[in-house]
Amino acid sequence: MTKATMNGQEHTARHIALIPAAGVGARMAANSPKQYLHIAGKPMLRHALDAFLASPLIAHTYVVVSPDDGWIDGVIPEHGVTVLRCGGATRMESILNGLHALQDVLQGVDQILVHDAARPGLTPALIAKLIAEVGQHPAGGLLGLPVVDTVKRAGQGNVSAATVPRDGLWLAQTPQMFSYALLRRALSEARDPAAITDDASAIEALGLSPKLVEGHPRNLKVTLPRDIQTAEMYLAHPDFVS
């Protein structure tokens, strides 16, 4: 476990969950942000929260929402989760705002697990796998899935223009885990926010290489209405991660 000396005292790194949940989920065509849509009996965000709360490895969970969010109070549990009402216009801005808000609470060596609110299939087993396999890798790491299908590059008019070699290609998932100091630096120094499609891409922009840890298809991101049925199928089997 990572330790560092702070003001003459040794500090053991904690694992902290941070969930940006300020998005509106426009592609879901719903009456509320998609993280609050009910899947398998409860809001999508609550599934993610419950996974972190069930993990003995997570010291605390924070959720970043927009200042005028009117749904979050009815979703969070009574204990173990703190709401930060400092969400921004983009996912990256929400995460960075959350990190700034926690500057007096967290230490540089604390490990931050950033997770998408729209990934309800996360389990404590996947959290444990990420933490164990990333270990003390200096660039952190993330869950992901190796690409197994043939990949095509489309041309104009949606014709197949080329086959892209899939060797070494992965689909990124979350959580993505980095030290507080590294993640804050990477996001603060990002020159082109549009190029930061996930937290790992900000770390990569520093010239570092996060570790890839194989996740599971159940940890899919619910983006379109058709994804709900797939998510519910996995949620019916919470222990299925192999």
Residue 237's pLDDT is 83
- Per residue in 15-32, pLDDT (tens digit) is 999 999 997 654 454 567
Residue with tokens 């749904």: 71
Number of domains within the chain: 1
Q: Which domain holds residue 165?
A: 3-235
How far apart are alpha carbons 4 and 11 in whole angstroms?
5
How far apart are alpha carbons 151 and 164 in whole angstroms?
5
Residue 193's pLDDT is 80
* H or E element, residue 37: none
Question: How many CB atoms are closer than 10 A to CB 114?
Answer: 25
Cα atoms found within 13 Å of the Cα of residue 109, Cβ hemisphere only:
13
CATH number, domain of 26, equals 3.90.550.10
Classify residue 13: in a domain, yes or no.
yes
Classify residue 241: in a domain, yes or no.
no
pLDDT band at 2 (very low <50, low <70, confident <90, very high): low
Q: Is the pLDDT of residue 75 over 60?
A: yes
Classify residue 213: in a domain, yes or no.
yes
Q: Is the pLDDT of residue 62 over 80?
A: yes
Q: Is the pLDDT of residue 4 over 60?
A: no
- Position with higher pLDDT, 194 vs 24: 194
Q: Report the pLDDT averaged over residues 144-154.
A: 96
Give, as one character, the DSSP assignment of residue 197. S
- Per residue in 220-230, pLDDT (tens digit) is 999 999 999 99
Residue 241's pLDDT is 65
Classify residue 240: in a domain, yes or no.
no
